[in-house]
Amino acid sequence: MVIATFLRGGLLLVAGCGLLAAEKPAANLTFFVGGIECAACVEVVRQSVAEVEGVTNVELEQRLDSVARVTYDPAKASAHQIAQGVMEAVQLHGRPYEPWLHLKVPDYAKGGNAAKVDAVMETMKGWVDIAVMDEKTGEFLVHFKALKKDESKSGPQGWQPEVLEKALSRPAPEGLGLACEWVTEPY
C-alpha cells in the first residue's frame, strides 16, 4: 500500500509496511587458499571468485597461506559457492587451489564443551570437513567439499558459516552459548 499526500504543493509518498524491505548488509569472509604459487595464480583465483553471482569484491594476497577477502551478497551467494569458485579456478601448476575458513571457539576445551561442539560440527559433514587445529585454543579449519549445485534453483546454495555460528553462539536451547569468531589474518 502506498499513501500519497500533498504537502504545500508538493507530493509526499509514504510506503506502506513491508514494501520497502531493508537491504541485507553485505557479508565479508576471509578464505585462506592453498596452492597459490605465483601472481598468475592470484589473478586466476581472484577472477574465478569474482565471477560467482553475488560477489561484489575480491582482494587476494599471495602468502604462504594466501588470503582472499571476499565481500558478497548473502541473498545471492553462499560461502560454499565462493569456495567452489576457488576450487574451479584453472590450475596453473597442476594442483588444485584449496579454500578453507579458520574458526576459533575459545572455550572449546572447557568442561564438556568439546563433545558438544564436535556434535554440532558432525551435523555439517555433508558440506564441509571441520578439523581441530588446536584443542587448547579451540581452533578449527573448515574445508569445503565439492558443491553439488542444483541448477534449477537460484540464490545461495550449500553451506553457510552463519549456520555454524548460530549453533555455537546462540543461548540454549537454540545453541551452545559459546563465543566463536572467524579468523581474518594468517599467523
> pTM of the full predicted structure?
0.83
CB-based contacts of 119: which residues, under 8 Å, 6+ apart? none
Q: Which residue has the cell 576445551?
A: 109
Q: How far apart are CA 32 and CA 118, in angstroms?
A: 22
Which residues touch 93 (CB under 8 Å, ≥6 apart)? 35, 37, 38, 41
Count, residues in the chain: 187
Burial environment of residue 49 by CB neighbours within 10 A (0 to 12, 13 to 18, 19 or more): buried
Judge whether residue 20 has pLDDT over 60: no
Please tell me the distance from the alpha carbon of residue 101 to that of residue 20, in angstroms, as a whole number. 34
Q: Per-residue pLDDT averaged across 71-86, rounded?
A: 96
Query: What mean pLDDT is predicted for residues 2-28?
Result: 50
Dig out the grid coordinates for 107 from the structure.
Answer: 572455550
Give the pLDDT band (50/70/90) at residue 63: confident
Work out the number of other CB atoms within 10 angstroms of the CB of residue 81: 24
Mean per-residue pLDDT over the chain, rounded: 88
For residue range 120-155, what is the model confidence (pLDDT) as tens digits?
Answer: 999 999 999 999 999 999 999 999 999 988 888 888
Comparing 2 with 170, the larger pLDDT belongs to 170
Under 8 Å CB-to-CB from 94, ≥6 apart: which residues?
none
Q: In order of start, what are the domains of the chain with their CATH numbers?
A: 26-182 (3.30.70.100)
Q: Indicate the SS3 state at residue 130.
A: strand
- The per-residue pLDDT for range 104-116, each reduced to its tens digit, is 999 999 999 999 9
What per-residue confidence (pLDDT) applies to 15?
40
**Confidence class of residue 24 from pLDDT cuts 50, 70 and 90?**
low
Confidence check: pLDDT of 65 > 90: no
